[in-house]
Amino acid sequence: MAEVQIATPRGIPVLETARLRLRPHRPGDFDFSVSLWADPIVTRYIGGRPLTREEVWGRLLRYDGHWAMLGFGYWALEEKLTGAFLGELGFADLQREIEPRLDGMAEIGWVLAPQHHGKGYATEAVGAVVAWGDARLSNGRMVALIHPENGASLRVAEKFGFRELCRTTYHGEPTVQFVREIPRQRDSGPEQKTFFRG
């Protein structure tokens, strides 16, 4: 289970698990993100091509913009013991041109550098993000778009109760839409919910 720590000055919470820290991105993460998104193994199922430095910079700015405008977004993922940058994950509202539409659903996504695959980090980190979303999102559903050949991500999604909604295409590539119902929370006091406007 993730522990929510004090929010950062930008209001982005820090989550910790046994081995991982999910924290806001910093300008110093840029080169790590560039390396991550330039790797063809990473982008094989996410867009199909490596990203440019310009595209990665826009992605980092979009992460912060999500937090500022919507109250949710992406975290940088690091190993607690070493501080090593492992990847990125979180929620987004990308206003995708896809059928069926994703309106009213927070889209979860995760990406880890290949040298960190196969260690259970994705499962551990996604578990923390899903728990955070269950406690704070009020839109009723989460969605994940996963390439049908990305077996590792399909298994992670299924572990957390995502179920296949449909198979479709996005930018000409096959994708599977997975949905997960957000459990209804009992009113436990002043905890602030993030209302998703899709």
Query: Would the pLDDT of 68 be above 80?
Result: yes
How high is the pLDDT of residue 167? Answer: 96
How high is the pLDDT of residue 11? Answer: 82
Query: Would the pLDDT of 4 be above 60?
Result: no
**Residue 52 DSSP code:** P
How high is the pLDDT of residue 7? Answer: 54
**Residue 174 DSSP code:** E
Instruction: Please indicate whether residue 188 or residue 181 has the higher confidence score (pLDDT).
Output: 181
Give per-residue pLDDT as tens, 93-150.
999 999 999 988 899 999 999 999 999 999 999 999 999 999 999 778 999 999 999 9
Determine the Cα angle at 104 with ends 90 and 68, to 5°.
50
Least confident range from 5-14, 22-31, 71-80, 127-136: namely 5-14
Band of the pLDDT at 59, cuts 50, 70, 90?
A: very high
CB atoms within 10 A of CB 179: 18
23: helix, strand or coil: strand
Query: Would the pLDDT of 195 be above 50?
Result: no
Band of the pLDDT at 32, cuts 50, 70, 90?
A: very high
d(CA 194, CA 154): 27
Residue 111 token pair:
């990406």
How high is the pLDDT of residue 153? Answer: 97
d(CA 102, CA 26): 29
170: helix, strand or coil: strand
How high is the pLDDT of residue 191? Answer: 45
Band of the pLDDT at 184, cuts 50, 70, 90?
A: confident
Number of DSSP helices (H) and strands (E) in the chain, helices first: 5, 9
Instruction: Give the global pTM.
Output: 0.88
Query: Would the pLDDT of 8 be above 90?
Result: no
Query: Would the pLDDT of 198 be above 50?
Result: no
Tally the residues of the chain. Answer: 198
Report whether 128 contacts 2 (CB < 8 A). yes
Mean pLDDT of 48-65: 94
